[in-house]
Each structure stands twice: as C-alpha cells, then as structure tokens.
C-alpha cells in the first residue's frame, strides 16, 4: 500500500512539474513580442519623408514616418545589391553568397535562392512557438520543396518570382511553349505541409491589385493570431515598387504626380492600416514593427526610384544600391526618435531578433550577422558592426569599414559593365557621399587600406573554411 502511495505521489509530482513547465512555456511564449517586417522591393533610400522624400517625391508618408517618431531610424543600414541575395541574407543572417557555395566549392547562380538546408528566420521563430505568415513576393525558390511553407512559414499568399513577369501575359510578342521556364507567373497560396496551389495569372491587372490583397491578408493574419496564445511573425514583402509600377485603381491619379507617387501614397496608406490594426487589437506594446527595403532603386535608365544623396541603383556597388531605409518600433523597449549613422547590415536582423526573444542562434554554420539589440535599445551608442563586404552577383566588389569604402571593381558609366582598374578606389563617405572622386593614393589617407583589405581577407578566409550548403 505504501508503495502505491509513493508511486502516486511521484506520478502526481511529475505531472505537476510537467504542467508547471508547460504553463511557464506558454507564459513565456505569450510574453515574447510579435514581429512584423514590411519589406519594399527596389525601394530607394530617399523615398519616404524622414529620409528626405515624401512630399518631395509627390506623396506624403505620415504613417511610415510615424515609425521613426516612435522608434529608431538608421541612415547607414546596408543590404545586398539584388533582390534574391538580399532576401536570402535577411532570412538567414548570412551573406547571400554562402547559400550559393556548393560543398565542392563551386557556386550556384545568383538567382538560385536558398537551399533547403538553410535555417530561415521563419524556421527559427516557428521552433519557438511563433505562428508565421508571408504575404507577398518570395523569390528564394520556385520548385517543389523550396517554397515559403517549406522554409518555416505556416501560410503564404503571393508570387514566387520577380514582379516584372507581369509584363509577359500582356506582351503581344510572347511565344507560348517556347521554353519550359518561359511560363506566366501565377499568384500562389499554400499552407505548411500542403502542396502550393496556383491561382490567377499575374498580369498587369493583377499586378495593380495584389498589394491591396497582400495587405488584406496581413490584417486578417494579425487579427486571427491576436486571439492565439502564441506570438506571430508576419513577413510582408510588397511587390511594388519593383517595375512595372502599377498603382491600385483606388490610388491611380490620387496624387496628380504620376504612378510612382500614387504607389508611394498607396504604400503609406497600407502601412497605416497595419499600424491601426496592431493598435486596435491592443498589440502595440508587444509588437516589433520594421519597415525597410531589399535594395535601392531599379538599376535601369529612366527608373523612377530615388536614392537620396547616394550614387547608383541596384546591381551596383554604390551606396544608392546598398543603403536603404530602416525604421524599427518596439514601444517601451526601443527609445523614441532614435537616430544613427552607425553601420548595420540586414544580416544582423537574424541574431538581433533572436536576442530580443532570448533564444540561441544556430551554431552549426557561419552566421555573418551580429547582435544589435543593445545598440537599437539605446544601451550602446555604437553599432556592434564596423565593416561589411560588397558583392554583385558572385563577384566580390569591395568592403566598407567605418566611414570608408574600398572598391576593387567598379561599374562602367552605363551601370552594366565592370571597369578595368589599375588601382582600387577608396572613398571617404563623409567627405564624398556620392563616391565621385576616389582618395588620391599618395595622401595620408592610404592608412585605411590596411583595415579595409583586412575585411576582405577575413571574409575570403571564412569562405575557404565554409563547408558549403548541400543541394536540396
């Protein structure tokens, strides 16, 4: 009888401990912040009001500007120079080139995306009990097993590839069945564990409507998940302002300043809806809200984007390609009206968000990002980073260190070819922010060659030590 009592006590105590741990885990899960990342497409530094745009660009952006007023604004936030490498870096905390390195040392194509082996931000957060949703452009894999819901997202509605494919269905020169990959892009939807469904053809008409639909889906996701005990991660990669720039019919002609200004006003209104939903549902204090871009304006001539004071556009190694808006709000945790020109890179978001929710990052791979939580929360005036490397495609172009930049390759004036250079160019980005005149190599500033080249050498050593990523 005493044995039965003892067994009962031990079993009851064990059950009580399990229940206590479960309740504690649920409590911690509930206390962890929700995370919303709004990612613009080919959106330059100078578009929104707090970066010198807004009304200067034909449309005020009060909702986006409010994030800066209530949070932290970076003026030296850096990204990769093209859509796919940039999204790869954001999702993995690793330079985009790393997922392109095969285990035999050869490189995959720049638009490959990410391999299934990578651990994405969505996977990391999902493992911690987060509900995860993406509504918008993926562009990191468009074959079986490589869609967003194969990479940590619970649900997705959007497009798998680039927005410019919206031109194809309306082109009178399109030749159907000319190549197995030359097919119309369709809007897709999927849930974790299910095969993605192909929906409407993504043509110009759908192109104009999809950001409205993305916003509606995002609002619905927030509303549904607000009722859950678990926190949520919402990733909202809008399809505008990648060309073709097509405002929704409700916004077409609304500014009187052309399609780009109409889309800017439209985007600000949509961001306002997201902020209002978070406020209405009482989630404001416990939601990290980020607004940023994948890279600078379109690199083609006659593109409408604006890079502010910086030279160049996407596909280039210049600041107009690499430096984009970054605004972050987390009430009571991140001080209001924070403002800094310290260097931060998009790869830093992965470890920083992990630090915010107090979890460990993967240790079985090289993570290039650094934890910027103290910096963003006002505990340090200095960024945890003072350097970064610059790639265009699979070519290493240079490095930044503090306010200096070294380019071992530069672009031709038309922005498509690589210049032959007798000597690398060094720019002082405080003295010459438009990168117009390289420093003369016989002046005292040649001392910066040493720290700049050290950044390149350290990175190249790390690539040699990288075992590469396995094929899917």
**Residue 12 CA to its chain's centroid (Å):** 48
Query: Could you please report the per-residue DSSP string of 250-280?
Result: TTTTSSSS-HHHHHHHHHHHHHHHHHHHHHH
The span from the CA of 53 to the CA of 470, in Å, is: 43
The span from the CA of 10 to the CA of 16, in Å, is: 10
Q: Which one is catalytic: 139, 242, 248, 345?
A: 139
In 3D space, the residue among 438, 392, 330, 318 whose CA is nearest the CA of residue 82 turns out to be: 392
Starting at the edge strand found earlier in the chain, the sheet holding 387-392 runs: 387-392, 395-401, 404-407, 425-428
Which spans in 227-360 are helix H? 259-280, 319-322, 349-356
- Tokens standing for 356? 């915010």
Residue 289, helix vs strand vs coil: strand
21 is catalytic: no
For 7, other C-beta atoms within 10 Å of its C-beta total 10
The span from the CA of 21 to the CA of 30, in Å, is: 14
Residues taking part in catalysis: 83, 139
């Amino acid at each position: 009888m005493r044995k039965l009592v003892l067994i009962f006590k031990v079993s009851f105590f064990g059950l009580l401990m399990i229940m206590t741990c479960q309740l504690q885990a649920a409590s911690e899960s509930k206390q962890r912040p929700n995370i919303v990342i709004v990612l613009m497409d080919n959106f330059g530094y100078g578009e929104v009001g707090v970066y010198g745009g807004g009304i200067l660009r034909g449309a005020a952006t009060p909702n986006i500007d409010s994030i800066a007023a209530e949070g932290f604004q970076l003026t030296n936030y850096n990204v990769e120079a093209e859509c796919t490498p940039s999204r790869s870096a954001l999702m993995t905390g690793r330079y985009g080139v790393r997922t392109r390195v095969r285990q035999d040392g050869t490189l995959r194509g720049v638009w490959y995306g990410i391999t299934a082996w990578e651990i994405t931000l969505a996977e990391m957060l999902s493992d911690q009990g987060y509900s995860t949703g993406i509504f918008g452009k993926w562009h990191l894999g468009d074959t079986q097993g490589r869609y967003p819901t194969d990479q940590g997202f619970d649900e997705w509605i959007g497009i798998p590839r680039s927005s410019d494919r919206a031109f194809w269905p309306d082109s009178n020169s399109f030749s159907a069945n000319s190549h197995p990959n030359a097919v119309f892009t369709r809007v897709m939807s999927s849930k974790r564990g299910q095969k993605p469904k192909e929906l409407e053809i993504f043509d110009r008409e759908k192109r104009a409507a999809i950001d409205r639909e993305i916003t509606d889906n995002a609002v619905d996701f927030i509303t549904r998940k607000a009722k859950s005990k678990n926190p949520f991660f919402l990733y909202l990669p809008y399809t505008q302002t990648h060309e073709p720039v097509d405002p929704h019919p409700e916004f077409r002609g609304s500014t009187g300043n052309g399609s780009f200004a109409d889309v800017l006003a439209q985007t600000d209104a949509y961001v306002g809806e997201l902020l209002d939903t978070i406020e209405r549902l009482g989630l404001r204090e416990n939601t990290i809200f980020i607004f940023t871009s994948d890279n600078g304006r379109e690199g083609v001539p006659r593109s409408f984007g604006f890079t502010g004071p910086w030279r160049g556009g996407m596909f280039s190694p210049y600041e107009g390609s690499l430096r984009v808006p970054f605004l972050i709000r987390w009430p009571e945790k991140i001080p209001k009206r924070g403002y800094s020109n310290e260097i931060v890179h998009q790869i830093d978001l992965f470890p920083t968000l992990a630090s915010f929710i107090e979890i460990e990052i993967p240790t079985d791979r090289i993570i290039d990002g650094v934890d910027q939580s103290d910096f963003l929360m006002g505990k340090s005036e200095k960024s945890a980073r003072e350097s970064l490397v610059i790639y265009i495609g699979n070519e290493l172009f240079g490095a930044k260190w503090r306010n200096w930049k070294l380019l071992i390759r530069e672009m031709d004036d038309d922005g498509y070819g690589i210049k032959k250079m007798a000597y690398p160019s060094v720019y002082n980005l405080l003295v010459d922010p438009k990168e117009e005149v390289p420093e003369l190599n016989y002046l005292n500033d040649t001392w910066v060659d040493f720290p700049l080249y050290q950044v390149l050498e350290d990175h190249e050593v790390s690539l040699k030590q990288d075992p590469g990523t396995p094929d899917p």
